[in-house]
């Protein structure tokens, strides 16, 4: 495209520079009117722009005979302009998009989402606002106090801790020599290629209290099932899995085995009755699932489960008596987790992926 045919518009409302101000001072001393001064600048400026600039930089000076005169001084006008720019501060990137501000405050402050989940879900759902923000920008805005109803105290995690290195443990659990080792899992399980393979753990409450939570995390979708147990025992765990089987089998025979193909657990005493966990409670001669056991001191082998436990701890902190939480409150936490957008799922929810 030739320069003469360029369709790019010149920038409007360009601020006066220090060089412009010294030109204005020189032209003003020559007695030129504001309109003519504006015409002489490059780019040209409107008469009103020059009038406002002259008014800003007018200064009283004394003549040799102590009489006074009012003249425009470029350095005075520049100093005033710099002070005003400094006092103005940095403009908010969110601007006047109050709808977006309220949306962010609602999701983080009221619903417990992280800034990354909010920004990611906006993009995934195709929501349209006047401005577009990144996760880092939202964190910076919260740090500066740009939000009216949002502070760092509302963030579930302020700063991601440095991840430590993991050394794979090749030890045998002395209390579970007969258990099926995690190394025997099929690639379809390890690679999260199909739905139905779960990680299972027990989340304890306050010391010297019995109630605990049985936490099941599906490896592909990260779907959560949280069951309140009266005690952290083999009998309680098996009874919970039996109830789960009854619920699924009531809908369609054989559905439990399709939705719960395997469980991966640690070597806690509550999980060591492999036979009872794998055998169907409705059809005793039928195997309902397959159990695998992680290496000792290798919680990272059940990483999805451990991350789920961290989310639960937002609602049930360590040292809390789980007996104080009703079944309805536990299900409310489960519902929140299954409808929380995850970066690892492309900011979809577990329910969306599992559907």
326-346 pLDDT, tens per residue?
Answer: 999 999 999 999 999 999 999
pLDDT of residue 159 exceeding 80: no
pLDDT of residue 169 exceeding 70: no
Q: Do 74 and 222 have their domain in common?
A: no
What residues contact residue 201 under an 8 Å CB cut-off, 6+ apart? Answer: 214, 215, 265, 266, 302, 305, 306, 309
42-97 pLDDT, tens per residue?
Answer: 889 999 999 999 998 898 888 777 788 888 998 999 998 888 877 765 555 676 78
SS3 286: coil
Q: How distant, in Å, are the alpha carbons of 184, 206, 311, 318 from that of 324? A: 40, 11, 18, 13
Specify the DSSP element, H or E, that contains 263. Answer: strand 262-265
Number of domains within the chain:
3
The reply to whether 177 falls in a domain is: no
What residues contact residue 118 under an 8 Å CB cut-off, 6+ apart? Answer: 103, 104, 107, 108, 138
Specify the DSSP element, H or E, that contains 228. Answer: strand 224-229
SS3 33: coil
**What is residue 64's predicted lDDT score, i.e. its pLDDT?**
78
The CA distance from 257 to 286, in Å, is 10
Q: Do 20 and 136 have their domain in common?
A: no
Length of the chain: 355
pLDDT band at 165 (very low <50, low <70, confident <90, very high): low
| DSSP-derived secondary structure letter, 69 | E
The reply to whether 198 falls in a domain is: yes
Last residue of a domain, one of 47, 70, 88: 88
Q: Do 349 and 200 have their domain in common?
A: yes
**What is residue 168's predicted lDDT score, i.e. its pLDDT?**
59
The CA distance from 278 to 263, in Å, is 9
The CA distance from 327 to 7, in Å, is 66
Q: Do 310 and 189 have their domain in common?
A: yes
Query: Which residues on neighbouring strands pair with residue 262, listed in sequence order?
Result: 197, 290
Specify the DSSP element, H or E, that contains 204. Answer: strand 197-204
Q: Do 141 and 14 have their domain in common?
A: no
What is the C-alpha radius of gyration for the chain, rounded to an integer number of angstroms?
34
Computed over every residue of the chain, the mean pLDDT equals 88
Last residue of a domain, one of 43, 66, 88: 88
CATH number of the domain within which 78 lies: 1.10.10
Residue in this structure with the two tokens 């990272």, named with its chain if needed: 300
Domain that holds residue 207: 182-354
The reply to whether 328 falls in a domain is: yes
Q: Do 137 and 213 have their domain in common?
A: no
Angle at 176 between CA 171 and CA 182, to 5 degrees: 60
The reply to whether 159 falls in a domain is: no
Alpha-carbon dihedral 51, 53, 59, 61, rounded to 10 degrees: -70
pLDDT of residue 311 exceeding 90: yes
The reply to whether 246 falls in a domain is: yes
The reply to whether 22 falls in a domain is: yes
The CA distance from 214 to 225, in Å, is 8
- Alpha helices (H) along the chain: 18-29, 34-40, 47-57, 74-88, 98-105, 115-125, 135-144, 187-190, 234-251, 255-259, 274-278, 303-313, 327-338, 350-354
Q: Do 80 and 102 have their domain in common?
A: no
- Check if the beta carbon of residue 213 is closer than 8 Å to that of residue 312: yes
Q: Do 75 and 222 have their domain in common?
A: no
Q: Do 191 and 245 have their domain in common?
A: yes
CATH number of the domain within which 335 lies: 3.30.420.10
The reply to whether 208 falls in a domain is: yes
The CA distance from 44 to 36, in Å, is 10
Q: Do 245 and 319 have their domain in common?
A: yes
The reply to whether 228 falls in a domain is: yes
Q: Measuring CA to CA, which residue among 51, 62, 150 is closest to residue 109?
A: 150
pTM assigned to the model: 0.72
pLDDT of residue 155 exceeding 50: yes
262-265 and 197-204 strand pairing: parallel
Q: Do 198 and 278 have their domain in common?
A: yes
Peptide bond into 229 cis (omega under 30): no
271-299 pLDDT, tens per residue?
Answer: 999 999 999 999 989 999 999 999 998 89
- Check if the beta carbon of residue 249 is closer than 8 Å to that of residue 242: no
Q: Do 142 and 271 have their domain in common?
A: no
- Check if the beta carbon of residue 206 is closer than 8 Å to that of residue 321: yes
Last residue of a domain, one of 66, 88, 110: 88
Using CB atoms within 10 Å of the CB of residue 61, give its burial: 0 to 12 exposed, 13 to 18 middle, 19+ buried. exposed
């Amino acid at each position: 495209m030739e320069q003469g045919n360029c369709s790019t518009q010149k920038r409007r409302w360009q601020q006066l520079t220090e060089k412009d101000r010294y030109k204005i001072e020189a032209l003003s001393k020559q007695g030129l009117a504001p309109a003519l001064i504006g015409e002489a600048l490059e780019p040209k400026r409107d008469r009103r722009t020059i009038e406002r600039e002259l008014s800003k930089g007018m200064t009283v000076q004394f003549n040799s005979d102590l009489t006074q005169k009012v003249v425009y001084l470029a350095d005075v006008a520049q100093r005033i302009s710099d002070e005003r720019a400094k006092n103005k501060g940095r403009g908010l990137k969110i601007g006047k998009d109050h709808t977006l501000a309220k949306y962010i405050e609602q999701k983080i402050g009221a619903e417990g989402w992280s800034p990354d989940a909010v920004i990611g879900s906006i993009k995934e759902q195709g929501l349209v606002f006047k401005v577009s923000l990144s996760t880092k920008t939202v964190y910076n805005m919260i740090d500066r106090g740009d939000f009216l109803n949002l502070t760092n105290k509302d963030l579930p995690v302020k700063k991601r801790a440095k991840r430590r290195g993991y050394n794979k443990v090749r030890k045998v659990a002395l209390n579970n020599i007969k258990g099926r080792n995690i190394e025997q899992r099929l690639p379809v399980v390890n690679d999260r290629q199909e739905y139905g393979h779960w990680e299972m753990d027990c989340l304890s409450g306050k010391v010297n209290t019995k109630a605990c939570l049985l936490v099941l995390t599906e490896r592909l979708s990260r779907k959560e099932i949280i069951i309140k147990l009266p005690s952290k025992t083999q009998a309680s765990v098996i009874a919970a899995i039996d109830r789960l089987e009854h619920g699924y089998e009531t809908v369609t025979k054989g559905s439990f085995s399709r939705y719960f193909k395997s469980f991966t657990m640690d070597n806690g005493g509550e999980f060591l009755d492999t036979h009872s966990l794998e055998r169907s409670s409705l059809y005793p001669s039928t195997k309902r699932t397959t159990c695998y056991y992680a290496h000792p001191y290798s919680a990272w082998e059940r990483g999805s489960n451990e991350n789920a436990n961290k989310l639960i701890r937002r609602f049930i902190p360590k040292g809390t008596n789980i007996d104080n939480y009703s079944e309805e409150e536990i299900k409310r936490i489960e519902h929140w987790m299954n409808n929380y957008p995850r970066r690892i799922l492309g900011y979809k929810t577990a329910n969306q992926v599992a559907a």
